[in-house]
């Protein structure tokens, strides 16, 4: 039993993990009977949690299953301020109303992975908004300006002459103070959060607490090969329906298959190694590996039955080039530009996104590509099925 426990903990410390501070201390504590308080914070800067953010959530589930206390922090205060740890430009402050709306379904989405009945859920507006200038000044004294500007993204912005606001210097203080209030034993975050995570350790030392251990998970690429980010719209969201989630996984590059198996599923690492080996030796077709990957991911968030249905839907629709039997209808009361219709039917995030999709040949009717965003959708389109990209189908219905 002890050997099995050691194996489980070793995988927690290594699978999809970039760095652990202090690894030996954390391993010793995990092997003991100690119940750790494990902090994970997320700012509701968009209404959806995507697979990139789910990487640490899966790690939290692993730790929750060992009996540790998960503390899920909603950064409703820090979300307004904005973290630029992974940004090449200043992140604008958000309206509090936007943050409140974005966080409405965060608990429900996190509940697709975690047992939320056992999770301690907190919001950092409960304490950050009460700090005085004197307290903030004392906290700021812990860090030097040199430490802040040594961060890669800040250094690049300085070299480019891009504006850096003083507000951005305060974010690590806030995240660090969260750890003090929560008395965190361990904090999880992505590699882009390194400075902020370490700030928690320094802040806890100031407040005479034992510094938290830190676990940094790898970042994963999105559908376009860049880091998965809501800002870029290259995400696979936990709120995506089963068919869309399955199809998005199938549309990504083959080079990401192994990485997604490691970070976004919980199939045994021995199986992952075998899949990668067989693909490298051309024994296994990447498409078949991706079908399994899409099924594994979809099953986590929608269950086995819907994952099987999504697989069948994908094969029939995209492999056999059949039009799906169930298609969303979009009612039109008057003529409108094609680009406008693509946006209003929620198949593009903006007019610019819609124009790109159209001009790149991603929109068609009856297998005929529509390449002009200015085309008017008239009554002649009534009853026709508009195909948008690899995944979108919309049946146009003109109101009588």
- Whether pLDDT at 91 is above 70: no
Residue 151 pLDDT exceeds 70:
yes
CB atoms within 10 A of CB 166: 6
Q: Identify the pLDDT of residue 87.
A: 45
Q: How confident is the model at residue 27 (pLDDT cuts 50, 70, 90)?
A: very high
Q: Locate CATH 3.40.50.620 in the chain.
A: 2-217
Res. 321: pLDDT tops 70: no
Distance CA(5)–CA(290), nearest Å, equals 31
Thinking of the domain 242-319, which architecture would CATH place it in? Orthogonal Bundle (1.10)
Neighbours of 239 (CB within 10 A): 15
Residue 117 tokens, joined: 């009945």
Residue 375 has pLDDT above 80, yes or no: yes
Range 171-196 average pLDDT: 94
Range 369-379 average pLDDT:
85
d(CA 389, CA 347) in angstroms, rounded, equals 9
> Which segment, 108-112, 353-357, 368-372, is predicted with the most confidence on average?
108-112
Tokens coding 78: 């820090």
Q: What is the mean pLDDT of residues 15-40?
A: 95
The chain-wide mean pLDDT, for the chain, equals 87
CATH, domain range 328-398: 3.10.290.10
Chain region(s) in the chain for CATH 3.10.290.10: 328-398
Name the more confident of 24 and 316. 24
Answer whether 175's CB lies under 8 Å from 196's CB.
Answer: yes
pLDDT of residue 366: 72
Q: What is the location of CATH 1.10.240.10 in the chain?
A: 242-319
How do residues 359-371 score in pLDDT, each as one tens digit?
888 888 876 888 8
Is 384's pLDDT higher than 70?
A: yes
Residue with tokens 């099925």: 385
Lowest model confidence (mean pLDDT) among 203-207, 249-253, 272-276:
249-253
pLDDT value of residue 388: 82
Distance CA 218, CA 55 (A): 8
Percentage above 90 pLDDT, the chain: 54
Spell out the alpha helix ranges (H) of the chain: 2-14, 23-31, 51-65, 78-81, 96-102, 106-110, 125-128, 133-140, 145-149, 152-160, 166-182, 194-206, 242-251, 257-264, 269-280, 286-302, 304-314, 338-344, 351-359
Please tell me the least confidently modeled range out of 22-36, 298-312, 317-331. Answer: 317-331
Both tokens of 187, joined, read: 């904090």
pLDDT at 325: 61
Q: Are 251 and 391 in contact (CB under 8 A)?
A: yes
Longest distance between any two alpha carbons in the chain, whole Å: 73
Residue 29 has pLDDT above 90, yes or no: yes
* 2-217 classified as CATH 3.40.50.2000: no
SS3 330: strand
């Amino acid at each position: 039993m002890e050997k099995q426990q050691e194996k489980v903990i070793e995988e927690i410390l290594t699978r999809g993990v970039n760095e652990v501070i202090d690894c030996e201390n954390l391993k010793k504590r995990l092997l003991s009977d100690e119940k750790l308080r494990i902090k994970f914070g997320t700012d509701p800067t968009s209404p959806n949690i995507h697979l990139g953010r789910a990487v640490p959530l899966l790690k939290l589930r692993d730790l929750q299953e060992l009996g540790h206390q998960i503390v899920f922090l909603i950064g409703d205060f820090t979300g307004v301020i904005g973290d630029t740890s992974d940004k090449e430009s200043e992140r604008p402050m958000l309206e509090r109303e936007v943050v409140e709306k974005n966080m409405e379904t965060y608990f429900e989405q996190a509940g697709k992975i975690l047992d939320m009945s056992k999770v301690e859920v907190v919001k950092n507006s409960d304490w950050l908004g009460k700090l005085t200038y004197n307290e903030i000044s004392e906290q700021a004294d812990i860090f030097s300006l040199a430490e802040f500007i040594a961060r890669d993204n800040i250094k690049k912005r300085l070299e480019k002459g891009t504006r850096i606001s003083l507000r951005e210097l305060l974010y690590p203080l806030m995240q660090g103070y969260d750890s003090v209030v929560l008395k965190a034993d361990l904090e999880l975050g992505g590699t882009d959060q390194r400075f902020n995570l370490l700030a928690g350790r320094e802040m806890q030392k100031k407040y005479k607490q034992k510094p938290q251990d830190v676990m940094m998970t790898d970042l994963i690429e999105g559908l376009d090969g860049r880091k998965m980010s809501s800002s870029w719209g290259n995400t696979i969201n936990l709120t995506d329906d089963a068919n869309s989630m399955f199809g998005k996984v199938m549309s990504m590059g083959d080079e990401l298959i192994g990485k997604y198996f490691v970070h976004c599923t919980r199939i045994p690492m021995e199986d992952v190694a075998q899949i990668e080996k067989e693909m490298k030796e051309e024994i296994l077709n990447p498409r078949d590996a991706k079908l399994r990957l899409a099924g594994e991911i979809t099953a986590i968030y929608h269950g086995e039955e819907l994952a099987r249905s999504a697989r069948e839907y994908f094969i029939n629709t995209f492999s056999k080039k059949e039009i799906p039997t169930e298609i969303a209808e979009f009612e039109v009361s008057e003529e409108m530009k094609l680009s406008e219709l693509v946006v209003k039917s929620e198949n593009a995030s903006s007019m610019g996104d819609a124009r790109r999709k159209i001009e790149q040949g991603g929109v068609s009717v009856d297998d005929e590509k529509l390449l002009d965003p200015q085309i008017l959708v008239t009554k002649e389109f009534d009853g026709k099925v508009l195909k948008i990209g690899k995944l979108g189908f919309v049946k146009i219905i003109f109101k009588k």
